[in-house]
Amino acid sequence: MVGMVMRGEADIGVAPFTITATRDEVVDFLTPFQEEGVGIIMKKPDPNANRMFKMFLPFQYSVWVAIVATMIFIGFLQYIVHRLSPYNMVRLRLVDALWMSFGAYVGQGGEYNPKFPSGRIILGIWWVFTIVVLALYTANLAAFLTITLAKTPIKNIAELSAQTEYKPLVKEGTNLISLFKNADSGTYAKIWSMMSDMPVVKTTDEAYDMVLSEPYAFMTDVSQLEYRALTDCQNVDIAEETFNKAGLSFLVRENAPFLEAFNAHMIRMLEAGLIAKYRSNWWPSNSACNEASYTTTANSLDLDSIAGLYFVYCGMIALSLVVLFIEIILRKYYYKIKEFLCRRRRVNSSSTLELTQENENSEKT
């Protein structure tokens, strides 16, 4: 359309053209009717994904790892303190110290509690830590199990460039192609490298279809994306932040005689509030999608919600059976192994004694 106006094939281009320096060199723009940023739309993730393991979602993976690492550290610390404290009268094994740390975390206590001050301080602080962690976990667990909360997969252009799940998608011939292609470094350059195998998309409808069928994040004027989200809020979601904000306007050929007249009419429309009125007709502030996004209701739990806990428990049972099998094998061959080691030790002792006697005889000779 820019080329058609530039060549004189059309007098005016009517579309939400982003005002750019490159376009301004070949055509003239009318007074901007709206400031617009580029938004990102993508398909919503399945809310039922990982449903069986929802009971672990209140904490992120890194938090679980940190809790386990802290538990092991407390066990080692208790073991060292028991070995070094002059007021400790009980010899504590490392296994017992680790088990005491685990028992304190799950609120079951242990077979032994330290009687000396340094050990009590460590265990007491660990008790307080576990109480706080348990309270945080319990508070979030109820929400995760009973309420389905929508979470935007990508919040801004930086997150899009830093992830691998969604591939960026833009329409062919838009100014976004030039924006990413001409970037030397930074976020835009990384986005361009991710677009190396991007399919050619010429219409917005094609892009929407690809977003719904494949893991693409489509970028265009945020107003278009907001309209799409209002009509299909169950399937798509928009990033919270926009980028590359600029004015939107119509365009005419350079030095067009009707430029000033058109500008005057555009200014009158803006002052009269017609642009805002038209927008409110097509982008209503109160819609079924907006109400649905803010309304959450608690759902009764089904078997899928706690099935992951059964899987974890079955895995622990399988592990215990493997350990039991190892214990039986070791117990069965314990005495044989012990007898073999004793015999080997006696043979080595005899060989050493004979070698010593031979050396003594050689020295006498």
Residue 102: exposed, middle, or buried by beta-carbon count in 10 A (0-12, 13-18, 19+)? middle
Residue type, 273: G
Q: What is the largest CA-CA distance in the chain?
A: 129
Q: Is 16 annotated as a binding residue?
A: yes
Instruction: Tell me: is residue 46 an annotated ligand-binding position.
Output: no
Structure tokens, 284: 């209503």
Which secondary structure element, helix H or strand E, spans residue 220, and what is its range?
strand 216-221
DSSP string of 147-213? ------S--SHHHHHH-SSSEEE--TTSHHHHHHHT--SHHHHHHHHHTTTPPP--SHHHHHHHHHH
Determine whether the annotation assigns residue 221 to a binding site. Answer: yes
205 annotated to a ligand binding site: no
How far is the C-alpha of 286 from the C-alpha of 284, rounded, in Å?
5
Is residue 5 a contact partner of residue 253, using CB atoms and an 8 Å limit? yes
CA-CA distance, 122 to 256, in Å (whole number)? 82
Cβ-in-10-Å burial (0-12, 13-18, 19+) of 67 comes to: middle
Q: Is 29 helix (H, G, I), strand (E, B) or coil?
A: strand
Question: What HEC string does 93-124 produce?
Answer: CHHHHHHHHHHHHCCCCCCCCCCCHHHHHHHH
For residue 29, which phi and psi values (nearest 5 degrees)?
A: -105, 145
The token pair at 133 is 């962690």
- Beta strands 216-221 and 27-29, pairing class: unpaired
| Bind-site residues for L-glutamate | 16, 18, 23, 221
| Bind-site residues | 16, 18, 23, 221
